[in-house]
Amino acid sequence: MTVDDETRLARAYLCAVAEPPSVALVELVTRAGPKEAAARVLAGEVSDRVAKETAARRERVRPEEILRATEQAGARLLVPGDDDWPEVPFLAFGLSGQAHLSEPLGLWVRGALPMAPLTERSAAIVGSRSATGYGVHVAGSFGFGLAELGCTVFSGAAFGIDAAAHRGALSAPGTTVAVLACGVDQPYPAAHHQLLDRIADTGLVVSEYPPGTTPARHRFLVRNRIIAGLATGTVVVEAGWRSGARRTASDALLLGRPVMAVPGPVTSALSSGCHRLMREPGTTVVTTAAEVLEEVGRIGEDLAGEHDVVRRPTDGLSPIMLRVHDALPLRGQRDVSELSADSGLPVELVRSALARLEAACMARRSGPGWCLSNNVGRDIAQGLRGGP
């Protein structure tokens, strides 16, 4: 780490003094540096814009206490300048709603792994808390499949899709990162206390909020910008027509990151948000972990293969051979002239097609004429029974 203790202390103060994303304060820090910025905020010697963000808390924040709480939580405060600070773009929306590029002033991290490398080949799996069994299954298998392929799985540790994605990745075993809308010391939701511990054991639990910060609804929306920023791409597995997951997706789109959505039954309200995304420009439909990796992986290395398909005996036939083949009887025989009339092909073309079909064991001589060879006859008859 190349960041000195005083700078980290100043960053702890700055992180806590303004409610993220504090666009004006971040600008001040960029201009004046964190130590100078923290001193000015504490003294109240800042512009009106910065004062608006910092006045409410400037005399209440105790950075030494925050760093003590950080240590007690088994966490660390990662700040720009640290070796494993992720050099990725983050979005922030000002109070009036306009989008800025604005990185967090710091990130609290629980877990031993360095953060930056985890973001390089990674995907966020997000979606509804009230997921269906289908959504949980898909999130789990995507989490597993991506982690198994060495791709970090980001999510928000919520019920439903988030938890299924984390669990899938943990079972691979692979690396997963939970990004919280509260302090990394808050077991939220309470039922995921153990899950968060397991994630921190082999991956990371991350938050823009200082230890002690409780979850609030506006923080979930703000948290989504961290997920969209850290992950190479974002997959929405299940989401209602209006959903926080859609917000993460729109943040990712603004950042030029791949946004993916998983299809589901059109009869399921919890897939309607995914289908809505698919009908908007910029979203890729994904059905497997391999297809996700194709979007977020290294170009040329992570191409999804063709689906496994059953080959049919007639697959390689030319249009002419197929027409003659279709005219052959299952039993009995037809002569070349009848086959010509039935297929609408000249006698010479029928003869050469028959020779090739015979060589491929798909036709055989039968008395004076021809019929289908025994081994394919049954397949074909079954294939034809209801049309192709």
- Per the DSSP assignment, residues forming a β-bridge with 205 are 110, 178
Determine if 386 is a binding residue for a second copy (CB under 8 A): yes
Q: Give the one residue of 49, 137, 351, 356 binding a second copy; rule: CB under 8 A.
A: 137
Q: Which stretch binds a second copy (CB under 8 A): 107-115, 118-126, 129-137, 357-365?
A: 129-137
Q: How far is the CB of 207 from a second copy (least distance, A)?
A: 13
Size of the site for a second copy (CB under 8 A): 77
**Total length of the chain:** 388
Two tokens at 134? 């289908």
Q: Give the one residue of 323, 370, 371, 372 binding a second copy; rule: CB under 8 A.
A: 323
Which CB, 172 or 180, lies closer to a second copy? 180
Q: How far is the CB of 217 from a second copy (least distance, A)?
A: 5
Binding-site string for a second copy from residue 13 to residue 42, where x marks contact by CB under 8 A and - marks none: -----xx--x--------------------
Q: How far is the CB of 343 from a second copy (least distance, A)?
A: 6
Which CB, 133 or 368, lies closer to a second copy? 133
Two tokens at 22? 């504090």
- CA angle (262 as vertex; 286, 208 as ends), nearest 5: 100
Query: Where in 143-202 is the site for a second copy (CB under 8 A)?
Result: 156, 158-159, 181, 188-189
Q: Give the one residue of 101, 347, 355, 361 binding a second copy; rule: CB under 8 A.
A: 347
Determine if 333 is a binding residue for a second copy (CB under 8 A): no
Q: Which stretch binds a second copy (CB under 8 A): 107-115, 200-208, 279-287, 363-371?
A: 279-287
Determine if 254 is a binding residue for a second copy (CB under 8 A): no
CB proximity list for 20: less than 8 A, separation 6 or greater: 92, 104, 105, 208, 209, 222
Phi, psi (degrees; rounded to nearest 5) at 20? -65, 155
Determine if 388 is a binding residue for a second copy (CB under 8 A): yes
Determine if 60 is a binding residue for a second copy (CB under 8 A): yes
As a whole number of angstroms, the distance between CA 288 and CA 260 comes to 11
Determine if 218 is a binding residue for a second copy (CB under 8 A): yes
State the amino acid at position 285 in one-letter form: V
Which CB, 138 or 164, lies closer to a second copy? 138
Contact 154, 177 (CB under 8 A): yes
CA dihedral for 205, 163, 277, 95, sign (positive or negative): negative
Q: Any idea which residue has 């600008």 for tokens?
A: 27
Q: How far is the CB of 339 from a second copy (least distance, A)?
A: 9
The per-residue DSSP string of 185-237 comes to TS-SSGGGHHHHHHHHHHSEEEESSPTTPPP-HHHHHHHHHHHHHHSSEEEE-
Q: How far is the CB of 177 from a second copy (least distance, A)?
A: 17
Determine if 352 is a binding residue for a second copy (CB under 8 A): no
Contact 125, 161 (CB under 8 A): yes
